[in-house]
Amino acid sequence: MQFSVSWLRSFCNPSLTTDELAHALTMAGLEVEEVTPAAPPFTGVVVGEILACEKHPNADKLSLCTVNVGRRAAAPLQIVCGAPNARAGIKIPCALVGAVLPPGADGQPFAIKPVKMRGVESNGMLCSARELGISSDHAGLLELDTQAPVGADIRDYLALNDSKFLIKLTPNKADCLSVYGVAREVHAITGAPLAPPPSGEVKTTLTDVLPVKVLAPDLCGRFAGRVLRGVDAKAPTPAWMRERLEKSGQRSISALVDISNYVMLELGRPTHVFDLDRVQGKLEVRWGKTGETLKLLNGNTVSLDEEVGVIADDRAVESLAGIMGGDSTAVSLDTKNVYVEAAFWHPTAIQGRARRFNFSTDAGHRFERGVDWASIPAHLDRLCALILDICGGQAGPLDDQTINVPERKPVTMRVARAQRVIGVPVTADDMASIFTRLGLTHRRTAETFIVTPPSYRFDIEIEEDLIEEIARIHGFDNIPARPPVARAAMHAKRESTRSLHELRAAVAAADYFETINYSFVDERWERELLGNANPIQLLNPIASQMAVMRTSLIPGLLASIQYNASHKADRVRVFELGKVFLRDPSVTDGELAVAGIAQPLRLAGAAWGGPVAEQWASGKRAVDFFDVKADLLALLPAGAKFSVAEHPLLHPGRSARISIGGVPLGWLGELHPRHLAAFELTAAPVVFELDVAPLQQRPVPVHLPVSKQPLVRRDIALVVAHAVPSEALTASLHEAAPPFVRAVEVFDVYRGAGLPEGKKSVAIRVLMQDTERTLADNEIEGACQRMLDHVQQQHGATLRA
């Protein structure tokens, strides 16, 4: 909300500077976001009156003005002017010789000197609003009111030594959505006296009443209105009102609209003015009906239903209750007779309604937070008095129906509870004084306050609401920052669980950079890269490439590679640790679960370019499956298995499913060549994605004695078909191995000359050691033979000659 400081000070004027006042409001919870001067500094500009205006003898577009500046000069001044609206009879701002105007485009203040323009002397300058820095209007001279006093300093006349406050109000401060409401706060904060609310007296001279029937007490709690006849809608809005509206960021429209807006800003009271001659019959206040439509003041037509409150006449719906009036009964410059209305709309009946139609209004904003019902007649009188004063006319009687207004229940606050919550012993006397300044009538007992909130407060229902008021007005700055005293309890992490940060550090140590990618991705990624036709969709995505929830972290990492490759990187290694989102009907609501959706944490990485950064000591090659597999083996728990399996994202011959104890844990593989083009890559990255939970498990080590017996090594080379995985061979050897076989490990694989077509030779090292005794030769040879027989039987392996 924006308004001028002088308007605020007209109600409550503490002896604080503008900046101090802004600070005081901010520290009481009314955040002053901006303090802006009404106009930049300038001097020497007064109200002038153009007495005569003739064409410049030597220039088509210039005119020669004779300007009366009253006592500011001995005689009228001759001033050359280029403005199209310069003409005799108007009053305008006139900069005298010696004046300094606000900086123009060059950034330098502009000093006015006597000059000759095209051979004619000019002693001053006539100004537009932009030249004075008041607005961006540069269409012509700023035309002042005809009543403006000639010779008066323009800063005084236009109240330009004023400032504007822009206040950011939190949703609970419904009572501060008006200048008077803010003044009430200033009074509470500073103790400076508060003027009574502006009022008006209306003499009833007509008997006309527009009949109104309120049919929905859950929508409308009070409804009041008056008929005014013979108003002049063309009457000009007075300068003082226009000035305050403009400083509040409201453009002047017409007197009737301006007055209604003014009362809303001044008192926080939204009102509506109907063109009485366009209302058919009587009014009724009710919920809308499906099928009804309404063309609004802003030209939009909305479809109504039973959730939306309306004001209708005998013919149609004429207004969206508490939000916006209708087009057909709107006032115009030709309006003669009006019906003015002010009502109490229940906040719950207004909340969310404007949002359904995708707009918001100042009235709706106020009503959904709560507007005082008690002051309706007084505020309507203020409005009518202003209309009669400015537009003339005669008033009918006030028709005021109270149907169903809220009950203000007394709220009890215990002094001890307030002190416990705030943490400092604010005294009961201080509390009483705070309530008094806030206008909260209260009863005091030995240990409690019983407060009955005023009808303009919609934020006081429970004890904490009052505690907050005490803390706020006492001042948060006056509450000490206290290091808490707490029982000391040790809080140790489990040794068998690795934290996410430890996991991240381990991946980073393997030369991967952590990235954070959006959790919502392009639907095409899910469909084309991951074969997922049914990802979870956002109902309101901000962009189509962020429309569905990801089920894999890998596409985001591929996009990272693409981004860096396009910025000349030749090697990219990135990882991410984050959640993915899978439809899963087996998930039920739980302590950490939402039914229907699995949200596991995943760790994914992608490596592209060389296995190490290009350098003098290492040959150039592309990173491959086994480089990344080694990185993973350093992360994975012991016993992780890599098995041949296909994944839509991965090269079918270069991908592996990773599992542990038969439970799938993730994937490792080279990106399928068909996806390279989508990421503008020519070489395939190697990618992996793992479930995080199993990676966090880290068994507490159990010590076994180190054997003192000699270690025996036997190397065997097995010839098998290409397709036999090496791990199948070692597993087979293991199966037949006696307990003293410590390790069976592949150390070489050979394909080529000397071997039959389609065969490979796998060299395996067998390490044997007993814990108790030295192994005899026949035990060793026997064990080897049994293992060889077994692997031959299972995989047709032969010993290489």
Q: 3-state SS string over 691-714?
A: EHHHHHECCCCCCCCCCCCCCEEE
Closest to another protein by CB, 168 or 315: 168
Minimum Å distance from CB 479 to another protein? 5
Closest to another protein by CB, 543 or 700: 543
**Count of all residues that appear for the chain in the document:** 801
Q: Which amino acid, one-letter code, is at 87?
A: R
Q: Which is nearest to 250 in space by CA: 76, 22, 2, 449?
A: 2
Report yes or no: 97 and 114 within 8 Å, Cβ to Cβ. yes
Closest to another protein by CB, 232 or 627: 627
Closest to another protein by CB, 336 or 504: 504
Minimum Å distance from CB 638 to another protein? 23
Minimum Å distance from CB 377 to another protein? 27
Q: How far apart (Å, rounded) are the C-alpha atoms in residues 794 and 797?
A: 8
Minimum Å distance from CB 219 to another protein? 14
Closest to another protein by CB, 240 or 476: 476
Closest to another protein by CB, 392 or 423: 423
Q: How far apart (Å, rounded) are the C-alpha atoms in residues 705 and 384?
A: 99
Closest to another protein by CB, 300 or 360: 360
CA atoms in the 13 A half-sphere facing the CB of 688: 30
Closest to another protein by CB, 226 or 365: 365
Report yes or no: 282 and 211 within 8 Å, Cβ to Cβ. yes
Report yes or no: 549 and 557 within 8 Å, Cβ to Cβ. no
Minimum Å distance from CB 772 to another protein? 41
Q: Which amino acid, one-letter code, is at 22?
A: A
Q: How many CB atoms lie within 10 A of CB 448?
A: 18
Closest to another protein by CB, 43 or 517: 517
Instruction: Dump the DSSP string for 136-204.
Output: S--SS--PBPTTPPTT-BHHHHTTTT-EEEEEE--TT-GGGSSHHHHHHHHHHHH---BPPPP-----B
Token duo for residue 354 = 């404007």
> How many Å is the Cα radius of gyration of the chain?
41
Four-point Cα dihedral 588, 593, 598, 604, nearest 10: -160
Closest to another protein by CB, 416 or 711: 416
Minimum Å distance from CB 360 to another protein? 9
Parallel, antiparallel, or unpaired: how do β-strands 31-37 and 163-168 relate?
Answer: antiparallel
Residue 667 vs residues 72, 399, 655, 688, 689: alpha-carbon distances, Å: 88, 76, 7, 5, 5
Closest to another protein by CB, 203 or 491: 491
Q: Which amino acid, one-letter code, is at 579?
A: K
Token duo for residue 469 = 């008021």
Minimum Å distance from CB 246 to another protein? 28
Residues 6+ apart with CB under 8 A from 180: 11, 197, 198, 266, 267, 268
Q: How many CB atoms lie within 10 A of CB 661?
A: 10
Q: Which is nearest to 89 in space by CA: 34, 51, 60?
A: 51
Report yes or no: 32 and 167 within 8 Å, Cβ to Cβ. yes
Minimum Å distance from CB 571 to another protein? 9
Closest to another protein by CB, 493 or 708: 493
Minimum Å distance from CB 630 to another protein? 10
Minimum Å distance from CB 506 to another protein? 10
Q: How far apart (Å, rounded) are the C-alpha atoms in residues 13 and 507?
A: 63
Closest to another protein by CB, 590 or 739: 590
Q: How far apart (Å, rounded) are the C-alpha atoms in residues 420 and 426?
A: 10
Q: Is 159 left (phi over 0), alpha (psi -120 to 50) or beta?
A: left
Closest to another protein by CB, 326 or 610: 610
The per-residue b/e assignment along 533-564, b for 16 or more CB within 10 angstroms, e otherwise, is eebbeeeeeeeeeebbbbbbbbbbbbbbbbeb
Minimum Å distance from CB 462 to another protein? 7
Minimum Å distance from CB 282 to another protein? 31
Token duo for residue 453 = 């909130």
Minimum Å distance from CB 758 to another protein? 36
Minimum Å distance from CB 508 to another protein? 4
Closest to another protein by CB, 106 or 591: 591
Minimum Å distance from CB 574 to another protein? 6
Minimum Å distance from CB 432 to another protein? 19
Closest to another protein by CB, 339 or 679: 679
Q: What is the DSSP letter of 370?
A: -
Map residue 372 onto helix, strand or coil: coil
Minimum Å distance from CB 469 to another protein? 9
Closest to another protein by CB, 192 or 587: 587
Name beta bridge partners: 12. Answer: 194
Q: Is 508 left (phi over 0), alpha (psi -120 to 50) or beta?
A: alpha
The angle formed by the CA atoms of residues 282, 313 and 456, to the nearest 5 degrees, is 85
